[in-house]
Structure 1
């Protein structure tokens, strides 16, 4: 039996609400994991195949574990009652027919710097709100992405997420959401292989919401990968209505509940048409998809916070966010937004949460107060 070499390893929350250790290895055998003094056999989640010459392994970890490791590689312990949560999203380096982001230029693609700054904070939890793999085309000649792998394969996943995220993996457990770049028609097979929280690796257009209980905070994760940004897809309506009802039921009874997804549910037709009053039990909605930071109160709904500034080329046109007034949903007060790379540090207070916006060097640039179903932000001079 070939000895496995660990290429990547992390702790993430599964759709069962439990922490899981994941490992990407070379070789045929999965390594052993350890939770405190208990040895755990990792099971093969995905074998090697075309484009993927690695093996993915997984095992559930007890929630109360204090020390976790895969082979000799230490992993962070599961979160309990998190006081510091980092949120980021839309992290990959975009290579498309019309745009080649500078994947080899830290100022143009700052995910590695963001990851180091996040790791230095040692947060209790990191939430990624989706969109990991943007290297979908070959890099044009003489571009700053020269030499980059591309496509839904092991090399591109290592380059765009698994390798640069290693400092985060070593310092915090993760909850990872699927983005539209992880649709089945794009990079879905790789997503289900490496990161999807469900047991099955078969690519599906939609997956049901699930809840993770972390002390007094309940996070409900909602898969919005294929929701339509414009208009309404009639085939999606019954699915999303059922799933929004599930999400509402999952939030009932929680001391505090966050609805976490990729596409902002207030700004796309499918979700806005299907959600009804499903978000009423929630205290906040967290998302990505729009490549900037944004925060807004919405009439009759919980506030929306967008952390889409994690590394992908920024959306400099604020109209897609600051013009939020669609159908029966209207921005309440003055929305806050800025298109600068970075991530959000959510710290619990007696009243709620503060959200510190950090640049890739870890420097604070704005502070928001998220409390009592409202959000208010001010820039730091």
Structure 2
């Protein structure tokens, strides 16, 4: 009797052990350590959260309208183990007015990058099932059933030069970690789709032995990205189009691509706008892979699923949007994103040729814009000389159009617009012939998003003039330019009333405080840049 009771006790203990193990929260193993909810005394600190369009880069996808795919990502610190991603969960809204739904099939995992420069934070990605990838309206991050709140304040006690002395702390701190998805694009404003264009947003800092052009204090007055982000977020856009150059600040004694500088140079200041709409993260020359640039951080944070390391030049990619959502097929529009981070890249001509294919796809939208960084054409003045654009980009574009044909015919251009940055000001260039017909796509340079602005001429903050130094396909252009050397952004609206406009959208220029700026009217003088 005692023997049988002993055997029963052993079996009971073994069964109880199996039950306890089966009920223990699962975790990802790394170096014999792991993170689970039960091991954490408080919620992991979420430093940043955003959603981003990842688009389509394959020519095989040219079969009509392409629904935008949107990824949700967030940053956990400090010194977070990659397994920390799995302790969070996600709830989504499938439509604007539906209730939040917990989605256990959604997986949260660390971004795996063989060239990851960050050793003190973890970048997590939300893996949405294929059935929802193009449809979810909004998503929120949760921990133990409660919605996570952001805590993006800067590292305390950092006294090196200007680091920590004036950088903007997180104005979105304590906000819910909730972002918008592809189902929201074209459905947040009745009867229209809206976008914010912004670029060159980082702060230069006060590096030693630098010219005056390279010197910029990083307080809110001299570096207004946080003010711009709040002003733009108040407009409730469907999309944010960033043309590149997120980072400028650096110091000699610390790795320039460290999380410390990404946090100080972008995320806390931009977070109010990151919460407001999916972003398109274009790539600028400051996101090159070479030492001293910030490409490794860019790919770890914003890279697409197909890249797991910093690459010299990305293939162009695209996505489509429409008023009322793409399923409505109401005033559809295509964005093509082209990587010009390196104006001497051997692949640049081929990339432009592929972009032309994406633009002229018969079943695709007739309204198309190109989003890229370095302008082939511009008009500005700095360092004692007059600049008219980048010859490397111009030559590559010329070679591509020689092969595939001009971008404008009979006064109609496709793409109708190049959305650009690189030059640190706002500039609109309209290339027309003597009969006021378009002979090249309009340029909007939106490099006035935070970095110290450059001058279009030695003594003008706002200059409107015409220039006759450019020609296209043998026709001399009368290039009407409107330039502002002050910070701000452009707000775009597309609706049934704008589809017949030259750009298909109506632009409104805002300064950093959200005040509308006037557009030029009437006759303009000839440009006198010197």
Q: Which band: TM-score by shorter chain?
A: 0.7 to 0.9
Given that 2:109 and 2:127 are in contact with CA atoms closer than 8 Å, whether structure 1 keeps it comes out as no
39-48 vs 176-185, greater mean Cα deviation: 39-48
Q: Give 5+ residue unaligned stretches, structure 2.
A: 1-33, 57-67, 94-100, 148-176, 187-191, 323-331, 378-388, 409-413, 433-438, 459-464, 499-503, 525-530
Q: Which residue of 2 aligns with 1:124?
A: 238
The TM-score with structure 2 as length reference comes to: 0.61
In the alignment, does 2:127 pair up with 1:76? no
Q: Which residue of 1 aligns with 2:223?
A: 109
SS at match of 2:299: helix
Residue 169 of structure 1 and its aligned partner are, at CA, apart by 1.4
CA distance in 2, matches of 1:314, 1:323: 22
Alignment of 1:252-271 (within 5 A): 252=360, 253-266=364-377, 267-271=389-393
SS at match of 1:168: helix
- Closer/same/farther in 2, CA of residues 18 and 279 from structure 1, 3 Å limit: farther
SS at match of 1:136: coil
CA distance in 1, matches of 2:365, 2:277: 24
CA distance in 2, matches of 1:322, 1:202: 44
Match of 1:59 among 119, 126, 137: 126
- Closer/same/farther in 2, CA of residues 318 and 222 from structure 1, 3 Å limit: farther
Given that 2:287 and 2:295 are in contact with CA atoms closer than 8 Å, whether structure 1 keeps it comes out as yes
CA distance in 1, matches of 2:141, 2:306: 19
Match of 2:512 among 343, 360, 369: 360
Residue 167 of structure 1 and its aligned partner are, at CA, apart by 0.2
- Closer/same/farther in 2, CA of residues 64 and 15 from structure 1, 3 Å limit: closer
CA distance in 2, matches of 1:35, 1:286: 32
265-274 vs 163-172, greater mean Cα deviation: 265-274
CA distance in 2, matches of 1:33, 1:222: 32
In the alignment, does 2:483 pair up with 1:337? yes
CA distance in 2, matches of 1:175, 1:50: 22
Which has more helix, going by share of residues?
A: 2
326-335 vs 360-369, greater mean Cα deviation: 326-335
In the alignment, does 2:353 pair up with 1:245? yes
- Closer/same/farther in 2, CA of residues 23 and 324 from structure 1, 3 Å limit: farther
Given that 2:284 and 2:374 are in contact with CA atoms closer than 8 Å, whether structure 1 keeps it comes out as yes
Match of 1:34 among 91, 104, 108: 91
**TM-align CA RMSD:** 2.7
Residue 179 of structure 1 and its aligned partner are, at CA, apart by 0.6
Instruction: After superposition, give the CA deviation of every residue in 1:290-337 in whole Å (9 maximum; x if it has no partner).
Output: 111111122522111111100101011349x98683574865342111
Instruction: After superposition, give the CA deviation of every residue in 1:208-247 in whole Å (9 maximum; x if it has no partner).
Output: 00001112111000000011xxxxx4xx34x122111111
Q: Which residue of 2 aligns with 1:8?
A: 48
SS at match of 1:362: coil
- Closer/same/farther in 2, CA of residues 198 and 322 from structure 1, 3 Å limit: farther
CA distance in 1, matches of 2:407, 2:251: 37
Count of residues in Structure 1 that have an aligned counterpart in Structure 2: 351
Q: Which residue of 2 aligns with 1:163?
A: 268
Q: Which residue of 1 aligns with 2:325?
A: none
Instruction: After superposition, give the CA deviation of every residue in 1:248-273 in whole Å (9 maximum; x if it has no partner).
Output: 11112323111000111343222221
Given that 1:292 and 1:307 are in contact with CA atoms closer than 8 Å, whether structure 2 keeps it comes out as yes
CA distance in 1, matches of 2:285, 2:46: 28
SS at match of 1:121: coil
- Closer/same/farther in 2, CA of residues 44 and 363 from structure 1, 3 Å limit: same
184-193 vs 90-99, greater mean Cα deviation: 90-99
Q: Which residue of 1 aligns with 2:285?
A: 180
CA distance in 2, matches of 1:207, 1:242: 11
Instruction: After superposition, give the CA deviation of every residue in 1:11-55 in whole Å (9 maximum; x if it has no partner).
Output: 101144410001111222213333333341122114796654111
Q: Which residue of 1 aligns with 2:334?
A: 218
Match of 1:295 among 399, 406, 428: 428
- Closer/same/farther in 2, CA of residues 200 and 309 from structure 1, 3 Å limit: same
Given that 1:43 and 1:57 are in contact with CA atoms closer than 8 Å, whether structure 2 keeps it comes out as yes
Q: Which residue of 2 aligns with 1:90?
A: 200
CA distance in 1, matches of 2:279, 2:520: 23
